[in-house]
Amino acid sequence: MLSEEVKSSMRESVLCWLATAKNEGVPNVSPKEMFVPYGDDCVLIANIASPKSVANIAQNSSVCVSFVEVFKQKGFKLRGNATLVETGDPEFELLLKVLHQVGGENFPVRSIIKIRVEGVEPIVAPSYLLFPETTEQGQVEQAMELYGVRPKS
């Protein structure tokens, strides 16, 4: 389910966006900065400050995660079901170590959102679709100029 392309894209992205909903359908979307692919069909997200996301998952496990590499303007949308791994759970310490490898140990992780991915769709900026000559390199150069940044040497 999580191809190497999806995993690589996830590692290139600075934030992901987790969409949840209450049973009544009231949506919530919030940014997450500590996330990682786990195996071939799961994503781990640290619950650092996510009370609405956690409350929604307790009511409705269906979630959507999206991430886009800001310069390439490409990424993926993942749909699946989330479970909460709490601090007392035997799996918590193992999963926390995996998250610490990508996010360091500075953040207090209250619980871990473990998502079993059931669907994957690409996300691309409209320019890739409207202008077939658009390339990733061209998108990167244009974005860097627009944001006034340069790659590290």
Residue 148 within any structural domain of the chain:
no
CA 56 to the chain's CA centroid: 17
**Model confidence pLDDT, tens digit, residues 98-152:** 999 988 899 999 999 999 999 999 999 999 999 999 999 999 999 889 889 887 7
Average pLDDT, integer, range 3-28: 95
Residue 76 within any structural domain of the chain:
yes
20 pLDDT above the threshold of 90: yes
Residue 147 within any structural domain of the chain:
no
Residue 144 within any structural domain of the chain:
no
Query: What's the pLDDT at 45?
Result: 98
Residue 74 within any structural domain of the chain:
yes
Lowest-pLDDT range of 14-18, 45-49, 58-62, 144-148: 144-148
Percent of the chain at pLDDT above 90?
Answer: 85
Query: What's the pLDDT at 147?
Result: 87
Mean pLDDT of the chain: 94
Q: Report the CATH number at residue 104.
A: 2.30.110.10
The 3-class SS string of the chain reads CCCHHHHHHHHHCCCEEEEEECCCCCEEEEEECCEEEECCCEEEEEECCCHHHHHHHHHCCEEEEEEEECCCCEEEEEEEEEEEEECCCCCHHHHHHHHHHHHCCCCCCCEEEEEEEEEEEEEECHHHHHCCCCCHHHHHHHHHHHHCCCCCC
Domain boundaries, position 110: 4-125
Residue 142 within any structural domain of the chain:
no
Residue 89 within any structural domain of the chain:
yes
Number of CB atoms found within 10 A of residue 61's CB? 15
Residue 133 within any structural domain of the chain:
no
Specify whether the CB–CB gap between 61 and 10 falls below 8 A. Answer: no
153 pLDDT above the threshold of 80: no
Tell how strand 42-47 and strand 16-21 pair up. unpaired
CA distance 23 to 125: 31
Total domains in the chain come to 1
56 pLDDT above the threshold of 80: yes
